Structure 1
């Protein structure tokens, strides 16, 4: 197995050469075998061990076992303890999910603080099979069927081609000691039920079932690559990336015979889970939205707009003093006195200096805001009505800023100036305010 492992790592993970590697070690069979294999190869490694304090004295016996092994074999080791049950309760997570979040958060923190490059875990072929069955039982797409990735960001899984049987045989031949996790014998967890009850039946039906499964996953992975390639090609035809948002052309999208699959492929990485709601949004009413934790999808006429959810204080105001010539936040504005007017777009306004009072205030618009649109001979209009006339989407409305002088609107920024501050024949000083 050592030779097979060495060849696999050299061909599949050649980039690990001369890198500093963390190895996640629980003390169980799989991780102790991976540790034994790596110590025979020319890699700089250190051990990571998490004590989740879920099995009483057994958890601390595992910790002591790892510590003694690393001391004896002169291997650097980092050990931490978690109150996993308290964390799971506080954040309303299952124990397994809580342990995973704690573990990987700590792993990535150590990558930064200790200046290591990658983290290796001991997932193997049987783990992959169990994950496949779990995902299949719950209902999943291609992503759930292609299995545990060999490489995921900084996480590397070099044992995935190897079966539990191979790993056990290697451990016995090399007199490797390991700790048995008593929870693995219980059918309390779904994974254990699959491992103890279902997988043995599958292997009884076909002794080469694991090899057949790995071939199937290889085919699925190839199919996934084709799907991703097609997805990129269609994305370029349908999607337009703006500064912060992505706009999907619904007219073009609905020409596709299987547009729902493309939407799933494009939006899955943004954390959306309410797929039926998203599919209904395509033919839904303009203004409807679907939310993920950090993103939202908005229907705006013949467009779906994907945008991040921004946490902003609606009452937040920014002051512009008389001496300010450049404003860089939350918008980029330039203020300067000029001799004449050259209006060529809504990106700039010209106001009579004697009509404004500093400091100017830049704020978001509020429901009920009223102003006097330039060119309407003193007729007032609600800002909300202006938005409707301009056919602004909800996102565009939320991003609109109002420039005020002494509680009076000077400019609905980038859209319309207020009549009350326009240049007269008697104006002596002209201030140009330009949106950069």
Structure 2
């Protein structure tokens, strides 16, 4: 197995040959074999062990085993302890989810401290099969049936081609020791039930089931690769970049068949999973929105607008500008300067009467009911009507800031100045306000 592992590293994980990495090691068979294989392959790595304090003295025994093993092979080991049950209580998640969130947050911290470039985990072929069956039982598309990714972000999983039986045989050959977690024999956990009850039955049905499954997984991955390449090309054609957001023609989406399958492929990476809601958006009223955890889709007439869902919205914030300075914490860049003469206003610069401004000025988002006197019109107009006439889409409206003096709008920033603050021929001091 060692020679097969070394060849697999050379062929598929060459980045591990010349870099330091970290191996997540619980002390169990899988991760201990991964450590031993990397050690015998003369790779450069450290070991990371998490003590979740869930099994009393057994957890402490796992930690002692990993420390001793690291000392034996003369490798650096990092160990941390977690109050896992406290995290469960605070965040209202399962023990399994708590352990996952805690350990990966710690792994990322180690990598950020330049203690390694990659994190190796000991997922193997049997884990792939268990994940396949779990996803199949819950209902999934092809992306849920292609197995655990061998590489994703900083994580590397070099044992995926090898079965647990191969790991056990290698450990036996090397007279290795490891720690057994008693909970792995408890069939009340879904993954354990699949491992202990379902997979043995499948092997009984067909003696070469495990090898057949590996082949099937390869075929599915190849099919998924082709489908992903086609979807990427299609996305380049449909998703038109408009400076940080995308516009997608609804008519072109409606022409796709099967529509729900295409929509899933095109929008899943943005967190949209309910295809019924997405299809309904295509026929919804202009302005209707659909939000995921990371993005927002808005229907604007005959297009969908896709933009990131900002973590913090500043719609209710107001920023004061005193007569002496423009604050550094403004959400946009404004520059004020006295100039000897005026020029025509543009989207990025306006000229106003300096003595007509009453400080402090306020920069804020527009609100329903706001109105101003658009320059050149010299009559009152609600901002909502102005946006409609100018065909400003919903997301652009939400991002619009206004500059005010004593409640009166001076400038719909980046769009139109107010007639009341225009520069008259008799004006002595002209103030130029620029938006960059």
TM-score band, normalised by the shorter chain?
over 0.9
Mapped partners of 1:299, 1:263: distance in 2: 15
User: How much does 1:339 deviate?
Assistant: 4.7
Mapped partners of 1:412, 1:140: distance in 2: 47
TM-score in terms of structure 1 length: 0.93
Q: Number of residues paired by the alignment?
A: 435
Q: 1:97 — aligned with what?
A: 97
Q: 1:278 — aligned with what?
A: 278
SS at match of 1:256: coil
Task: Give unmatched runs, 5+ long, in structure 1.
Answer: none
User: How much does 1:186 deviate?
Assistant: 0.7
Mapped partners of 1:361, 1:409: distance in 2: 9
Q: 2:397 aligned with 1:375, yes or no?
A: no
Mapped partners of 1:328, 1:102: distance in 2: 34
Q: 2:414 — aligned with what?
A: 414
SS at match of 2:49: strand
Mapped partners of 1:264, 1:371: distance in 2: 43
Q: 2:385 aligned with 1:385, yes or no?
A: yes
Q: 1:60 — aligned with what?
A: 60
The answer on whether the counterparts of 1:326 and 1:335 sit within 8 Å (CA) in structure 2 is no
Q: 2:124 aligned with 1:124, yes or no?
A: yes
* Compared CA separation, residues 273 and 88, structure 1 to 2 (3 A): farther
SS at match of 1:59: helix
Mapped partners of 1:86, 1:244: distance in 2: 41
The answer on whether the counterparts of 2:296 and 2:308 sit within 8 Å (CA) in structure 1 is yes
Q: 1:354 — aligned with what?
A: 355
SS at match of 2:61: helix
User: How much does 1:171 deviate?
Assistant: 1.1
SS at match of 1:104: helix
Task: Give unmatched runs, 5+ long, in structure 2.
Answer: none
Q: 2:36 aligned with 1:36, yes or no?
A: yes
After superposition, the CA RMSD in angstroms is: 2.1
User: How much does 1:325 deviate?
Assistant: 8.3
The answer on whether the counterparts of 1:326 and 1:333 sit within 8 Å (CA) in structure 2 is no
Q: 2:399 — aligned with what?
A: 399
The answer on whether the counterparts of 1:403 and 1:409 sit within 8 Å (CA) in structure 2 is yes
Counterparts of 1:61-76 in structure 2, within 5 Å, are: 61-76=61-76
Mapped partners of 1:68, 1:354: distance in 2: 78
Q: 1:156 — aligned with what?
A: 156
Deviations 1:208-263 (A, max 9, x none): 11111111111111111111211121112211123332222212222222343333
* Compared CA separation, residues 270 and 92, structure 1 to 2 (3 A): farther
Mapped partners of 2:130, 2:177: distance in 1: 25
SS at match of 1:106: helix
The answer on whether the counterparts of 1:124 and 1:164 sit within 8 Å (CA) in structure 2 is yes
User: How much does 1:125 deviate?
Assistant: 0.5
The answer on whether the counterparts of 1:372 and 1:419 sit within 8 Å (CA) in structure 2 is yes
Deviations 1:274-303 (A, max 9, x none): 332122211222222222223222122112
User: How much does 1:5 deviate?
Assistant: 1.0
Compare 420-429 and 318-327 and name the one that shifted more: 318-327
User: How much does 1:385 deviate?
Assistant: 2.5
TM-score in terms of structure 2 length: 0.93
Mapped partners of 2:92, 2:84: distance in 1: 12
The answer on whether the counterparts of 2:118 and 2:154 sit within 8 Å (CA) in structure 1 is yes
SS at match of 1:42: coil
* Compared CA separation, residues 174 and 326, structure 1 to 2 (3 A): closer
* Compared CA separation, residues 343 and 258, structure 1 to 2 (3 A): farther
Deviations 1:182-207 (A, max 9, x none): 11111111111111111111111222
